[in-house]
Amino acid sequence: MTRRRWLAVAALSGLLLAAGMQQRFDSTVDYFGERSAFVSLPSGKTLRVLSFGYRNLAADLLFIWSIQFYSAYNIRNRFDFIERVYDTITDITPEYKEPYIIGSLIMAHEANDLPMALRLLEKGSRLNPDEWIFDHDAGFYCYKYLKDYAKAEEYYNRAAAKPGAPVFIKRMKAHLVYLRDDPEMATRMWLDILHHAEDTLTRDSAFNHLYQIKAEADLPLLQQKIAEYRRQYRRPPAVLADLARAGLLREIPRDFAGDEYIYDGASGTVTAQRIFRWQKR
Amino acid sequence: MKPGIKGIAVNTFRESARNKMFYLLVFFGILFALSSKLVSFLTLGDAMKVLKDTGLAAINFFCVLIAVFTGINLVYKEIERKTVFNILSKPVSRDEFIVGKFLGLALTMLTALGAMAVIFFAFVALNGGGFDLGILLYFFMLYLELLVIVAVSLLFSSFTTPILAFIFTVSLYLIGHVMWTYNEFKNYLAIPLWRIFTQALYYLLPNLAKFNIKNEVVLGTALDPWSILFSVLYALAYVLALLALTVLIFRRREFQ
């Protein structure tokens, strides 16, 4: 073998060995074992100065790095400084929307730290007062995971008041009012949505909500009156109209579509014609 | 335009265009701008934003390099090769020589930036971005910034060596992009004299951040037309002042 070939083999072997060592290192490394290495990430303000007019690029690169880093599931304690990382990115370019959205998503779903996710989204909302998405996302996390409907409604109210807020935020607000057990207010809000609906989705959604809210109020009332009827006559009513004839109800309520509720005379139970879509938890 | 200025400007442009370094930097500028597509693959959300950020940053960086590398050699090379004697022996004044050099380099920068801009616009359009008037405005502002850098490098080139001119120009470029920190910095100065000194520096040094509208055009945030107008006037005034200073220095120089 010529000297040239020996050198080529040596170079190739060296590179392969180095790659193997790197792979071995990556699989065992505790990135934050040397915490000082990560704490030394400069603040957003410092990076803004050090980027010398390329702050967009600096924020993009740090954001891209964060996506790759927080997707590395082999690093067990990767979330230790996540708030610092996203604070830095959003300090460099406060107008950049994605780091707030993706950062809060990682905090909520991967790091299981909802208060931290809400803090990041509130920062986004504070620094971008005309942007509705941050309040919307915060409202969604409160609704979906914290089950704090009052807080979620507060966020949705803020989002709905911002320019360009989509119509579904109004629907979410009304749904949250329904979830926190205020059927009268929810009915008023859904009626308003139904009367101003410009598309089928909004109209159907409002109709279904109104149907369910009304049925949820009517069915227990009917069930209560059937029980009273049963106590008085020692049998269930043959038809719902018997309740009116017995003076227990002035008139028999109908569902939101104007149809009669389904009554089973044998068991004395009353049900709605449509399936309920939403459940209060 | 005086024939002397025109002749020197055309010759400077030709000389720059023949320079291999010029083509190399333009090539790398275009290559890095196009490679922004690769970077955009790695992000989540608005990939077009990352593509524009990276592409514009690459064009900005390489245009500044072209301005600095071409500018720092302009006058020095003529003196070093003693071709300046030839030129100045003709009916061309020293003032015309400097103005001609500046205009030639301004034309070179316009060509380099124009080439990169056309390719970048086509690239953005190919990636579904459409024509963005904001980016066109950004290129105009970048050109103004480049004119200031060219004027700075020409000034240093008129009295010092290329290495020193490079260090001074790059330093001014970096300082020019962090001028906005002055307002915070002055709070740390207890001695009034230092405050006056730094205040004077603040007004003397080029505030290049004025021309940086990358963030606004990429994110689509509102741009103040008055701020743009003032930046244009600022660039013109600053270039004029630097050219006058360069002419003053160059007039006093004695060639051996």
Name the H helices within B127-224.
133-157, 162-176, 182-185, 192-204, 214-219
User: By the CB < 8 Å criterion, does A110 face chain B?
Assistant: no
Radius of gyration of chain A (CA): 30
pLDDT at residue A36, rounded to an integer: 47
- Residue range A245-271: mean pLDDT, rounded: 84
pLDDT at A31: 60
Question: Which residue ranges make up each domain of chain B?
Answer: 3-252
User: What is the pLDDT at residue A39?
Assistant: 54
pLDDT > 90? residue B92: no
CA distance A228 to chain B (A): 60
Mean pLDDT (whole number) for A99-103: 94
CA distances from A78 to A33, A88, B89 (A): 11, 16, 70
pLDDT one-digit tens code per residue, A24-57 = 877 776 665 555 445 578 888 888 888 888 888 8
CB contact under 8 A, A52 and B46: no
CA distances from B152 to A52, A59, B174, B240, B243 (A): 18, 29, 13, 11, 9
CA dihedral A78, A82, A84, A86 (to 10 degrees): 130
**Which of A11-20, A85-94, B54-63, B197-206 has the lowest average pLDDT?**
B197-206
Mean pLDDT, rounded, for A87-93: 92
Weakest mean pLDDT among B17-26, B55-64, B107-116: B17-26
Question: Model-level pTM greater than 0.80?
Answer: no
Highest mean pLDDT of the ranges A72-86, B129-143, B186-200, B231-245: B231-245
For chain A positions 81-100, those within 8 Å of chain B (CB to CB) are 93, 95-98
Residues of B with CB under 8 A from a CB of A: 39, 42-46, 49-50, 53-54, 56-57, 60-61, 173-174, 177-178, 181, 208-209, 212, 214-215, 218-219, 221
Residue A263: pLDDT band with limits 50, 70, 90: confident
Whole-number Å distance between alpha carbons of B24 and B33: 14
Please say whether the dihedral angle defined by the alpha carbons of residues B77, B78, B83 and B85, taken in this order, is positive or negative.
negative
CA distance A33 to A39: 11
Q: CA–CA separation, A185 vs A173, rounded Å? A: 11
A95 neighbourhood in chain B, CB within 8 Å: 215, 219, 221
Selecting from A55, A98, A101 the residue whose C-beta is nearest the C-beta of B215 gives A55
| HSE-up (13 A, CA, CB side) for residue A232 | 12
Let me know the angle formed at the C-alpha of A254 by A250 and A259, rounded to the nearest 5 degrees: 140
Give B175's contacts (C-beta < 8 A, 6+ positions apart): B205
Cα A98 to chain centroid distance, Å, stands at 16
Closest-CA residue of B relative to A52 is: B177
Element (H, E) at A263: strand A262-264
Kindly provide the ipTM of the predicted complex, given to two decimals: 0.79
pLDDT above 80 for A261: yes
* Higher local confidence (pLDDT), B131 or A135: A135
State the pLDDT at residue A220.
87
Candidate from A39-43, A140-144, A191-195, B248-252 with smallest mean pLDDT: A39-43
Residue B88 pLDDT > 80, yes or no? no
Can you tell me the mean pLDDT for B209-218?
A: 86
Q: Which residues contact A169 (CB under 8 A, 6 or more apart)?
A: A132, A136, A156, A159, A160
Range scoring the smallest mean pLDDT among A8-12, A64-68, B251-255: B251-255
Q: What are phi and psi of A264, to 5 degrees?
A: -105, 105
Touching B: A residues 35-54, CB under 8 Å: 49, 52-54
- C-beta contacts of B181-185 below 8 A and 24+ residues apart: B181/A49
How big is the CA angle at A104 (ends A100 and A110), to the nearest 5 degrees? 145
So what's the pLDDT on residue A134? 92
Homologous superfamily of the A34-166 domain (CATH): Tetratricopeptide repeat domain (1.25.40.10)
Tell me: pLDDT of A107 over 50: yes
Helices (H), B35-93: 36-41, 47-80, 83-89
**pLDDT value for B172:** 92
The tokens describing A91, both together, are 């300090």
